[in-house]
Amino acid sequence: MTQDDIASEQEEIPVSYTAVGCTHKDLVLLKSVISLYGTQGNVAWDFQRSLEVDLVVIGTEMKPFEVISLLRSRTGGGGLILWISDSPYVSNTYQILHCKPPLHAFQLAEQLKQVEFLMRGKLATRPASPVSSAPPAVAHHDAFPENTRVELVRWPSPELLAENRNFWRMAAMLGARSMTLNELAERSEQPREICQRFFRNLNHAGYVSLLDSDDAQQTAASAHPLPEEAPARQNSGSGGGLRGLLRRIRIGLGFSSA
């Protein structure tokens, strides 16, 4: 990270939010956690009675179809939703964070941290520069610097994977080969923030182990490279080796994008 980036980590960012369909109890908890958390983090939380806010918190009192029409009625505001519900929802338009009821302070605080993180990502004016070998000034694993390899140690729960429709494939990739954040972003062709969020969620739930650059060499080797007997070199058919074969299999099966 450059000096400028580090500075932006410590700048206070404003996040406007509102709450709809929450029980009184949940609303009280939300506001008190925010006021507690607000003193630790670097976010200026601003409650507004309006939908045109950065974050909409949706409570258990609203039915999904009511939520959808509510969101459709918005004329502005950001794409972040924190939804308190039993089943997670996914959306192409919104980034939906999820808390299972009954609401607890700890899980709420975790999600708020994530909100801050995503808001910072949105506000950053320059692309993330390669991390130097020095440890980041703000020490936390959630940034997943260049030399951190993430290894999947257990297949994640369907709930975690349901948060984003690409998470399934990303997990399958990660299971086959430990990766850095950059590698995942490149291989999955997903935005960095999505990959970062994915890693964060996995890390918090205990599905991964993090390896530093020294271990990185070892892990790359143990990423189960295809053995010498891979079919490609026996008869690679129309050429292009195994990569070509996998592409042809996708086409043959009728996947829309090979």
Partner 1 sequence: MIEHKILFTGTVGAGKTTAIQSVSEIPVVCTDVLNSDPSLGKEMTTVALDYGEVSLARTERLRLYGTPGQERFSFMWKVLAQGALGLVILIDHTQPEPLADLETYLKYFRELIQSTACVVVISKMDESRLPAIKDFTELMQKHHMVYPVVAADVRKREQVLWILDLLLVQMEARL
**Binding residues vs partner 1 (CB under 8 A):** 152-158, 168-169, 171-177, 187, 223-227, 229, 231, 234-235, 237-238, 242-243, 245-246, 248-255
* Coil/strand/helix, residue 208: strand
Joined together, the tokens standing for residue 139 give 């020490």
What span, in angstroms and rounded, lies between the C-alpha atoms of 199 and 141? 10
Cβ 53 to partner 1 shortest distance, Å = 36
Cβ 110 to partner 1 shortest distance, Å = 20
Please state the three-class secondary structure of 160-196 as a single string.
HHHCCCCHHHHHHHHHHCCECHHHHHHHHCCCHHHHH
* Residue nearer to partner 1 on the CB measure, 40 or 235: 235
* Residue nearer to partner 1 on the CB measure, 92 or 257: 257
Cβ-in-10-Å burial (0-12, 13-18, 19+) of 106 comes to exposed
* Residue nearer to partner 1 on the CB measure, 177 or 200: 177
* Residue nearer to partner 1 on the CB measure, 105 or 249: 249
Cβ 211 to partner 1 shortest distance, Å = 15
Residue recorded with tokens 């050429």: 239
Cβ 24 to partner 1 shortest distance, Å = 32
Strands (E), 48-116: 55-58, 80-84, 95-99
* Residue nearer to partner 1 on the CB measure, 58 or 208: 208
What span, in angstroms and rounded, lies between the C-alpha atoms of 65 and 52? 19
Cβ 145 to partner 1 shortest distance, Å = 22
Cβ 237 to partner 1 shortest distance, Å = 4
* Residue nearer to partner 1 on the CB measure, 109 or 232: 232
| AA letter at 230 | A
* Coil/strand/helix, residue 209: strand
